[in-house]
Amino acid sequence: MSTTHCPACTKVNPSSNQRCDACFRHLKDPEWRCYDHNCFHWNDVTEKKCAKCGKSGTESVGKGKRPRSADRLPRDKGDKEPAKNNYLGVRPVDDKHRRPRSADNRLASRWKCCHCTFFNGVEEGNCEMCSHIKGQCCNDLKLWKCHLCDNFTSEKFNRCSYCSKKKKDPDSPRPRNDLDKVKARQDEKHSTDHDRKSPLPGGDKWTCERCSLNNSSSSRLCEACRFSKPRVTGINLNDRHKSKPLRGDLRESVRAKDLRTIKTKQVEAKWKLIVQKCQQEKKNFTDKEFPPNDFSLFKHPRPGGSNIQWLRLKDVKDNDGKVSKHLKVYDKPTANDIIQGAIGNCWFICALAVVAERKNLLERIVVTKDYCPEGAYVVRLCKDGIWKTVVLDDYFPVDQYNRLKYSKARRGQLWVPLIEKAAAKIHGCYQALGAGRTVESLSLLTGEPCEHLSLNEHKDFSKTIDNMLIWSKLTHARDCGYLMCTSCEAKDGFTPEHCKSLGLITSHAYSLLDVYDMDTGEKLLKIRNPWGTESWKGDWSDSSSKWQKVKPEVKKKLKPDGNKHGTFWMEFKEFRKYFGSVEICKTRDWHETRIKGSFPSTADGPWKFAKVYVQKKTDLCIGLHQKNKRGNHSNEDFVDMLIVVMEILDVRKMRTVGSSKRDIKSYVGCEIEHVQSGEYIIACLAFKHLDGGKHGVNLQRDFVLTIHSTQNIVVEENDSINAGYTHFLADTLIQLAVDKGDRKTLKGNTGTYTLSWDGLILIVENKDKRQYAAIQEDCSKSTNLMSTRGSMFTQDVIPPGHRQLIFLLTRINQRSGYCIQYASSYINSSSSMLDYYGHKTKSHLPEIPMELECLHIPRPIR
């Protein structure tokens, strides 16, 4: 039987086929046509260059007609326009006027990848050929051609996806004379300034991201694999105000499950190359980035070194002193398999034990599922909001009996030491894993949004309202299937010795497994010690007489017999006395978006923000990460981060729908439930670094914004300079204070809004239509606070119908408390100057410099 090779995907097809079985391209087209301006010559399909003009097939697409393609579906003239506010660009195909042919029927049940033009099944979330994620660019085959770069873009966008050139209106008049033509050329030349300021790496050539072939800069597609030319958008921020603003980066959120599938395939390919090289060289893999020596054990190794030995897994002995012959990565893992080692990392082991309760969560951490004789393993962890792929060898530190010195698992399993070593590698060494909070380890292991719930905000544990709020959060987390951890603390009146007599260990992390409402009114919590010993000895412990009054069916369900594994039940009132916090990891089938950015060194920006288009009602979990200090040798302190989420009501009006706490930590987050369809702004703010480095804070700090949603959303990445929003920072803080702050009326139409969030945000409002408001604020008696204006004493004049941000105070030392004391005096006058305070030529004291006008200048009331 004769066969034919497809020229597009190289699949072998029967010669009787008219189209390829894989990509549905025509097999019988013997020629291709050169579409250069004056050529239009037909060439044999085996020829890569035109026989007449010498141009290649990728370069021959000029200003003429689009190249003939047998894969283009006939367009239905009866198609309706897509519905408004359809941000995802998805619409059903109208087949009322025609019935597709047999080939078109097969194409209609598939979607075409915009990168490699391969047709995939509708159920596939990413392209089978190039792993491109299915997006709105792939959902619609209706395209328009850019008149500048000949790129084809979906009709849903009015700017070219390659050069950002605006779509040309076919009804626009053409230049009539030579002078108009010159002007048109100048405009077109100006529109390409972005391309000249962003040269492609490698000069006149560009490297294909798929096959690494160097292609000519004039080629839009790779000559070997037909992959698209990469889009470069690197512009120096210092020149941004002189050049054309960048187009907002519009992207769809990606289902986390689909993204993991793609990343896992890429990681497995990398691992196979390492194993193949080891097999060829006939030696085991050794990780040079994390070598088996003291630099991988300690932050500051001793000059003489230590006596700690490193052995490969095949030479390590078990607890019986024998070399294990049946090593496995996973063997029906459970939380009881974990044995903590010599490091005081119960915060990490506790979270790992909670994750081990969910097999699907645990097994996606270690990508290498089986024992590798070559000693190469791959682990995926999420550090500071970004997923990291960690490649490890099988060298591990051992004790004097050649047993694993640090954490291990029972029954010869390797997942515990592999995950712990991966965490040690990305943080610098094993010693860096000592002491921490479980909320950090939950985020590291899962990459899901997390929440810290403090139990110490109210010392009166009998308050009914407070207890109901905390209990409702715990039951909600249980019903949603979230992961929970808690920590035991020595509170007022309870010494560590007293806690130990009750079976509790202070400054120790525990797993919170379940919560239960008894018929008798008691509220019980199921807790586990990751050490597997030292269980609770008070009421509702295994030996407590309380269980004798419980119904047999309830007792069978709760199973109060877990002391041998460190598991016990405790009443909620007792829990609040001895435990200080609960960490909740919100594991769901999320759609996620991760955006990198930097807090600017000055208040005038650019301030990064994300514009979110919501089509269907969804839940949002938003997080803001900054670089963790664990394993970091620098003395950089955290900045105070704040998330503000606002709904756009119209062109001039917004309202705050959610915000995080303003906190000096590595992570802040907020959750907004039942978000309705519409447009929203997510602002990423920080202020401590705006003091110019006077308090030891660097001028610029990087961050990662994570957006998790239950429904698919569209996110547009932008900043205040690109959007032309000069007073973005002031308007955001004023709106936040108006919606969330405490209002106090001073006199008549003058009032203040205050927000005491890790400092102070003070807004003065003048609603009078004629009179100016002169106000004096004195915060000089406040302690451990600094002001963005550089002074704790201010005098300002607020015009009629305006609001002004007077004070933005930030805590200096996060380890110390702070005190806020301020005194106000005000007067209404007809003068726009500080005449009442003796300054007839000034309206602000201290004067507001140009870089702070976007923050402290009076803003009109909308």
Residues 574 and 471 sit within 8 Å (Cβ to Cβ): no
Determine whether 346 is an active site residue: yes
Structure tokens at 89: 């660009």
Q: Which of 340, 365, 390 lies closest to 443 in space, CA to CA?
A: 365
Q: Which of 183, 180, 149 lies closest to 166 in space, CA to CA?
A: 149
Q: Which entry of 13, 529, 722, 766 is annotated as an active-site residue?
A: 529
What DSSP character marks residue 664?
S
Q: Which entry of 508, 591, 708, 856 is annotated as an active-site residue?
A: 508
Determine whether 151 is an active site residue: no
**Is residue 371 exposed (0-12), middle (13-18) or buried (19+ Cβ within 10 Å)?**
middle
Q: Which of 41, 227, 24 lies closest to 116 in space, CA to CA?
A: 227
Buried b / exposed e along 708-742 (16+ C-beta atoms within 10 A): bbbebbbbbbbbbbbbebebbbbbbbbbbbbeebe
Paired strand residues for 216: 205
Residues 354 and 483 sit within 8 Å (Cβ to Cβ): yes
Determine whether 529 is an active site residue: yes
Q: Torsions phi, psi of 554, nearest 5?
A: -70, -40
Q: Which of 303, 293, 327 lies closest to 397 in space, CA to CA?
A: 293
Structure tokens at 143: 């395209």
Paired strand residues for 704: 596, 625
Structure tokens at 274: 């390492």
Query: Rounded to an integer, what distance in angstroms lies between the CA atom of residue 361 and that of residue 559?
Result: 25
SS (H, E, C) 759-781: EEEEEEEECCCCCEEEEEEECCC
Residues 511 and 528 sit within 8 Å (Cβ to Cβ): yes
Q: Which long-range contacts (CB under 8 A, 24 or more apart) does 150-158 make?
A: 150/61, 150/62, 150/63, 150/220, 151/220, 152/66, 154/89, 156/82, 156/89, 157/250
Query: Rounded to an integer, what distance in angstroms lies between the CA atom of residue 791 and that of residue 487?
Result: 41
Query: Rounded to an integer, what distance in angstroms lies between the CA atom of residue 332 and that of residue 379?
Result: 18
Query: Rounded to an integer, what distance in angstroms lies between the CA atom of residue 723 and that of residue 852?
Result: 19
Q: Which entry of 163, 222, 346, 684 is annotated as an active-site residue?
A: 346
Residues designated catalytic = 346, 508, 529
